[in-house]
Structure 1
Amino acid sequence: MSQEQEASPKRVAIITGAAEGIGRGIALRLARDGLDLGLFDLPRSEARLAELAESLKKEYGTKVSVVFGDVSKEEDVKRLVETVVLEHGSLYAMIANAGVAINRVLHETPTEELDRLLNINVKGTFFSYKYAAIQLIKQGHGGRIIGAASIASKKGIAEHSAYCATKFAIRGLTQSAAMDYGKHGITVNAYAPGAIETPLLHGLDEYHSKLSGQPRGTWSNSFTNILGRNGQPEDVAKLVSFLVSDDAAFITAATDGLSQYLVDGGTCFD
């Protein structure tokens, strides 16, 4: 390895919603890939995020910044990007992973729950894209912006009207952002998970179990796909690993007409 290669700084990725589920899986994979990380989640996740950061440092030698806040608050996301850049010197990728879901028929959805979904899923993604783009443009070396869509962004799902609306919005954000930032060498894509074994899926399953009286797992195992199983966080993390890599340099919504990649075992077809 040349001196120039040795002096080259490691790439840095921010992951929102990193304490558990898909976010945690992405953090583990990107650390294994050799990236340094900025991990972001709510203050209530402090213990889990601290444990994750420590394990990444020990196993992979990853330099980790841990920042707490709420993606629905613009100042928190701005502070996240500023803190990570201050501690690491630069940014390469933003993984706007944080999101929430509820089960409600449209007319039974409380307005405050609709606002919560819009604030976290849509505004949180918007703020993450915005401040990552500002930093990446300022640096002038390109980069990656990746958002969390869902199979719920591909087709409507019963009792998920508000959630589907937020995930359809992420498709529009991603497509438009890719067109805005391609000239800066910034690619913008989204991953669209199906049923992934996470605390979020288990929470939805618990809701349906109480409603129907059926055993736990009945609803979460009701999704049908070609592979015959629910996904794991690492299944999504593998795709994110590719999208962050140099191998995906020519993949963006602006060039291939796609805004997202399904990770659903073959549930949805276009």
Structure 2
Amino acid sequence: MGDDADGDRVKGSVAVVTGAARGVGLATVQWLRARGVRVVAEDLSADVERLADPGAVEVLVGDVADEETAVHAVRLARDRFGGLDVLVNNAGRTVNRPLVDTTLADWDDLVAVNARGTFLHAREAFRQMHAAGRGGSIVNVGSYTCTVGLPEGSAYSASKGALAQLTKVIALEGGPHGIRANVVAPGVVETDLLNDVRPDGRAYLRSFGPLHPLGRIAQPEEIAEVIGFLASARSSFITGAVVAADGGFTAA
């Protein structure tokens, strides 16, 4: 990874970002582009197509849980931009239901996106990074539920716990090849994540502000800053870590 003028040390890199159409994913694409990173922006929603920028941003509409989507994303990075240095596994879903009301479909849907999708993209990225021999950084976007439980969030908590363990294994296997892997574990972030399930999605998320010692929830750009740090050579001796960006939520 090359150095850039303002010291972020990512300029000239190539990244794949999943869940790129909105929220933390969109903020991450913007952070990377501002620092000269070429990006494959992937999302299930066709809204991601508005990010297309020839020579700078390639877009891919696909299901993160589909193996071919992961293969295609890494192939796009290699064929259009010459390789892959950074993977940001950001795509995710949530369902908030008591354990006894959680259906098999709820469980399967969340595990497919949050765990299987992360595994597939990390596997394909690792293969490319290893083959190229120039190392790389895999950043998985988790949650405070990587380390603590969420009442009425059995499937979500389990999927994010799996993501944390997967990341540690990637770090162990990747270390000898210069491939780092870390988790960003946000607290509640103001996004459109719940808009499909309740009309007051953003307001509902903001209501969790008092549960964070800082007294508020995060903005997507704040999480993107942490992702960018872990993606860059600034964090060159950090791997296998679960990095809390949760306003102090898990400090108690």
Deviations 1:119-165 (A, max 9, x none): 11110000011000000000001110110110111111111011000
> Equivalent of 1:221, from 207, 222, 226?
207
Q: Is the 8 A contact 2:51 2:59 kept in 1?
A: no
Structure 2 letter corresponding to 1:21 = G
Aligned pairs for 1:52-131 (under 5 A) are 52-54=51-53, 63-131=56-124
Match in the other structure for 1:30: 32
Q: Determine the C-alpha separation between the residues in 1 that align with 2:244 and 2:27.
A: 17
Aligned pairs for 1:1-270 (under 5 A) are 10-42=12-44, 45-46=45-46, 48-54=47-53, 63-203=56-196, 206=198, 217-218=203-204, 220-223=206-209, 224-253=211-240, 259-269=241-251
Q: Which runs of 5+ in 1 are unaligned?
A: 1-8, 210-214, 254-258
Structure 2 letter corresponding to 1:265 = G
- 1:38 Cα offset (Å): 0.5
Q: Determine the C-alpha separation between the residues in 2 that align with 1:242 and 1:72.
A: 26
Structure 1 residues 121 and 216 mapped into 2: Cα distance closer, same or farther (>3 Å)?
closer
Q: Determine the C-alpha separation between the residues in 1 that align with 2:190 and 2:243.
A: 18
Aligned-residue identity in percent: 35
Q: Is the 8 A contact 1:202 1:220 kept in 2?
A: no
Structure 1 letter corresponding to 2:15 = A
Q: Which runs of 5+ in 2 are unaligned?
A: 1-10
- Secondary structure at 1:51's aligned position in 2? helix
TM-score, length basis structure 2:
0.90
Higher helix share: 1
Specify the structure having the higher radius of gyration (Cα). 1
- 1:201 Cα offset (Å): 4.5
TM-score, length basis structure 1:
0.84
- Secondary structure at 1:169's aligned position in 2? helix
- 1:218 Cα offset (Å): 4.8
Structure 2 letter corresponding to 1:217 = A
Structure 2 letter corresponding to 1:173 = L
Q: Determine the C-alpha separation between the residues in 2 that align with 1:231 and 1:248.
A: 22
Q: Determine the C-alpha separation between the residues in 1 that align with 2:179 and 2:234.
A: 14
Structure 2 letter corresponding to 1:49 = V
Q: CA RMSD in A?
A: 1.9
Deviations 1:210-268 (A, max 9, x none): xxxxx983564134112211100000100111111111111101xxxxx2111111111
Q: Is the 8 A contact 2:188 2:205 kept in 1?
A: no
Structure 1 residues 85 and 114 mapped into 2: Cα distance closer, same or farther (>3 Å)?
same
Q: Determine the C-alpha separation between the residues in 2 that align with 1:130 and 1:86.
A: 18
- Secondary structure at 1:100's aligned position in 2? coil
